[in-house]
Structure 1
């Protein structure tokens, strides 16, 4: 043990800034789709060795090291964003390093503040290995809520490949897992470096990891997937090239593709009851086009209901407002209801600080003359024949509080997306993994239609019962899983996360100077 400690101390002696940047980048491979989570049990203890060595340094030095640690992580974790700028490279490619670099640099500020807070506590004799997970988890919670929020690559998402550990999301949510995952990894440091009393605490915390794994496996085994009778969902994946999507000359071909997939005979022999088209699937304003809806009515299976991702226009104060929406239509192509996206993508669907950035040549990636208008908030819609559905569009699925309305619990979740921007990068796989967590958190099945990317059906314990290939045009006829009883997280939200946070901080206080 002493030899290992000496080796690790020598590791921390030089080039701390570079090493922390690399350790942060390596930690990102614990995320899906690689799911190499054991690397976290190496990179986190090594980072703690460096931060412990530097814990008495000036705060500006600690801030710099904490920011570099976060920068390495977020550049590696969010690199898939760069793919969007290759869709129209002549116009957008020059913005790619600015957009990715700025986003990663800003996300790293949250980790910098977390490391600063942990170092402040360490100078008052709190165990650094115990408070770093707590401050990082709080920083991740803030990252998901402040400035519209962006919880992509949250630490809790590393539970995706942990053989059942992600089932804890049904109790503590992704936010709670964002505390437990780094806590388990940092406990390795405590077990190696700490005094006997603190070492026993680290070992006790480590034991909760296999216990969580076993509990998760038992939960999965005790809830086999059951299906809703008389409901057959068709997921339409047209695989429209992103370069063609908004060009008027391709509108006819795109709509013909959608109609053909919509009208295809059932592959199961059972009647199609519900059809889902992906985000912004229709290259025109479907609700305003009588001719387009007349064609759609001819392609609708009798009695079926269509949920179509579409752009919608509304006039307010004599000025047109555009929404990215889901239209609910009956088999006569009459619009029954709609849902408007309320968590818009910064830089994609609206440009933050447009007054300052547009004169510099920066613009939205989505080619509309105006920014989209956000909808009123999370909403459940009544879907004929399938009850209430929690609606979300694209990256709204990464927000635990955005997938269902707050009043009555829905029966299922509907997510429409267009991951065609990101090719076969890690982005579409991480997007799907986050919808899996939403299903586990809420105990609800999810149906997801992608233009291309990954269309899927997910059961209420997060098991993917169907997953399409990327780059394929097809229609998939699938049974809809039944929900399970409302989960603890569905009832309490992030309350237990804050309880866990207080427990960890309390342990840090109890084990001061011991």
Structure 2
């Protein structure tokens, strides 16, 4: 034990925890670069592959335990399992996620470690990091939360490089920047002399690269945040929740409005045609007419809701986490079903094993959600094509847009009331990265915050703060021209990783 407390293993654990402070809500991004750079040096200094693996895994354990501490809060609303289980779940998730930094460390050590640490080792480490982070985003349905590149949002000019190379490739660039700082401390100046001015120029580019303002006469978008927590949204609270939404939805004017409500606040069903036993106190027609009273002739309201699915015997066979579009005549103008569901949240994997153990999914109810077909749009009269991404879907780089039918805006309703104080600002940060990548504005509506209107360049145009009731209304921000990343997608991660690998090999082969 004493050996551990004075060993590089403890240092790796602490460096991982420090690196997590660069993400929202703390945004101490220089600490992320410094801690990650010191860890890269640690990996190079490891005497064996096994010790490199241990240091890589412990860095990841410290990093993800701190960064995902909000994960525990979701268990505070689950009757089937004790809230204390959330602490074990958060650490258990970190035990798994730590395998990905370990993989990057092992690959870099095995392929590129020789002699004194040099730029070639850093470049190889960056290529390995891109591969490991991309793997994390897809393995076992993927957990893409907080890729390393998100720390650049306070220096948004650097974050905007993701419009060209994407989030995962920018994470590789972040590793190069961290490694350059480490080499600078060791008085090796070649790589820092290139990286530091380049990233400084990218950061300064934010002064002249803002997206244009909306044109006169553009339809309005109004984002509603009722500040009603998860604990206050039982079936008996339906009337109070609906009244809060109505009060914040404003009144019709001369300009058409797209009014957006969050995920998880409308608990009653909006669709007709279900068997009679499925409905509770109100009919769907009554609910739609009540909502439609808030809208003018050209207005449309988007809201999260649940769609039921039935078998041939009219028994409920599943449900969809959906967005419904409703016009001023109480007509449904379309529905989008969430495609990327959250395991253990919206459905329980291996229920035959886990249910007998007393485990349940975190979203209340006995019916698992079924996935929709993938990224999709709703075409709304007066507003054009609006892309849909419900909650967690927005964190998956390269999977947010139907590329054959590019929308003019993305609506991202979410229910961040599960996520404590750290989760909502982290979720917002990742939505901003998607806006930059795709060159599309994003509108987020959440019950307790942080709701926002995000420009196509990632700037926050308006927000409703966390745990605050309110609404914001602005002209719909314009989309930018399709970005290089929006055309190529995550093939950019492979391209950049390949270039980094090739440069590392070339540096190693050149005559000294």
**How high is the TM-score relative to the length of structure 2?**
0.90
Tell me the distance in 2 between the aligned counterparts of 1:107 and 1:183. 22
Q: Check 1:505–1:477 CA distance in 2 against 1; reply closer, same or farther (3 A cut).
A: same
Give 2:339's match in structure 1, choosing from 342, 345, 359: 342
Deviations 1:410-446 (A, max 9, x none): 11111101111124x1211111111111111111111
2:281 alignment counterpart? none
Q: Check 1:93–1:507 CA distance in 2 against 1; reply closer, same or farther (3 A cut).
A: same
Give 2:443's match in structure 1, choosing from 435, 447, 456: 447
Following superposition, the deviation at residue 328 of structure 1 comes to: 1.0
Q: Is the 8 A contact 1:80 1:422 kept in 2?
A: yes
1:501 alignment counterpart? 497
Alignment pair present for 1:309 and 2:304: yes
Following superposition, the deviation at residue 228 of structure 1 comes to: 6.4
Alignment pair present for 1:471 and 2:463: no
Q: Is the 8 A contact 1:234 1:272 kept in 2?
A: no
Q: Check 1:369–1:88 CA distance in 2 against 1; reply closer, same or farther (3 A cut).
A: closer
Tell me the distance in 2 between the aligned counterparts of 1:261 and 1:46. 49
Q: Which moved more, 1:290-299 or 1:413-422?
A: 290-299
Deviations 1:355-392 (A, max 9, x none): 22222212111111111111110012102211111101
1:273 alignment counterpart? 257
Tell me the distance in 2 between the aligned counterparts of 1:186 and 1:317. 60
1:457 alignment counterpart? 453
Q: Secondary structure at the match of 2:271?
A: helix
* Uncovered stretches (5+) of structure 1, i.e. residues with no partner: 1-11
Following superposition, the deviation at residue 40 of structure 1 comes to: 2.5
Q: Secondary structure at the match of 1:64?
A: helix
Tell me the distance in 1 between the aligned counterparts of 2:32 and 2:230. 36
Alignment pair present for 1:39 and 2:31: yes
Following superposition, the deviation at residue 123 of structure 1 comes to: 4.2
Q: Check 1:440–1:409 CA distance in 2 against 1; reply closer, same or farther (3 A cut).
A: same
Tell me the distance in 2 between the aligned counterparts of 1:201 and 1:241. 49
Q: Is the 8 A contact 1:389 1:404 kept in 2?
A: no
Following superposition, the deviation at residue 108 of structure 1 comes to: 0.8
Deviations 1:59-87 (A, max 9, x none): 33322221111111111111111122223
Following superposition, the deviation at residue 306 of structure 1 comes to: 1.1
Give 1:49's match in structure 2, choosing from 22, 26, 41: 41
2:396 alignment counterpart? 399
Alignment of 1:139-288 (within 5 A): 139-193=132-186, 199-220=189-210, 223-227=211-215, 229-245=217-233, 247-262=234-249, 264-265=250-251, 270-288=254-272
2:16 alignment counterpart? 24
1:5 alignment counterpart? none
Q: Is the 8 A contact 1:280 1:325 kept in 2?
A: no
Following superposition, the deviation at residue 211 of structure 1 comes to: 2.5
Number of aligned residues: 491
1:7 alignment counterpart? none
Q: Check 1:299–1:205 CA distance in 2 against 1; reply closer, same or farther (3 A cut).
A: closer
Following superposition, the deviation at residue 495 of structure 1 comes to: 3.0
Tell me the distance in 2 between the aligned counterparts of 1:472 and 1:147. 36
Alignment of 1:42-121 (within 5 A): 42-54=34-46, 56-57=47-48, 59-88=49-78, 91-121=81-111
Q: Secondary structure at the match of 1:481?
A: coil
Following superposition, the deviation at residue 163 of structure 1 comes to: 4.2
2:279 alignment counterpart? none
Alignment pair present for 1:296 and 2:291: yes
1:8 alignment counterpart? none
Tell me the distance in 2 between the aligned counterparts of 1:411 and 1:139. 32
Give 2:422's match in structure 1, choosing from 422, 426, 430: 426
Q: Secondary structure at the match of 2:356?
A: helix
Q: Which moved more, 1:111-120 or 1:200-209?
A: 200-209
Following superposition, the deviation at residue 92 of structure 1 comes to: 3.6
Following superposition, the deviation at residue 448 of structure 1 comes to: 1.4
Q: Check 1:13–1:426 CA distance in 2 against 1; reply closer, same or farther (3 A cut).
A: closer
* Uncovered stretches (5+) of structure 2, i.e. residues with no partner: 273-283
Tell me the distance in 1 between the aligned counterparts of 2:5 and 2:507. 27
Tell me the distance in 2 between the aligned counterparts of 1:348 and 1:243. 16
2:277 alignment counterpart? none
**How high is the TM-score relative to the length of structure 1?**
0.90
Q: Is the 8 A contact 2:251 2:294 kept in 1?
A: no
Q: Secondary structure at the match of 1:312?
A: strand
Following superposition, the deviation at residue 261 of structure 1 comes to: 3.0
Tell me the distance in 2 between the aligned counterparts of 1:491 and 1:228. 29
Deviations 1:6-54 (A, max 9, x none): xxxxxx9951111100000100111123221111232123212321221
Q: Check 1:86–1:204 CA distance in 2 against 1; reply closer, same or farther (3 A cut).
A: same
Give 2:481's match in structure 1, choosing from 478, 485, 492: 485
Q: Is the 8 A contact 1:414 1:446 kept in 2?
A: yes
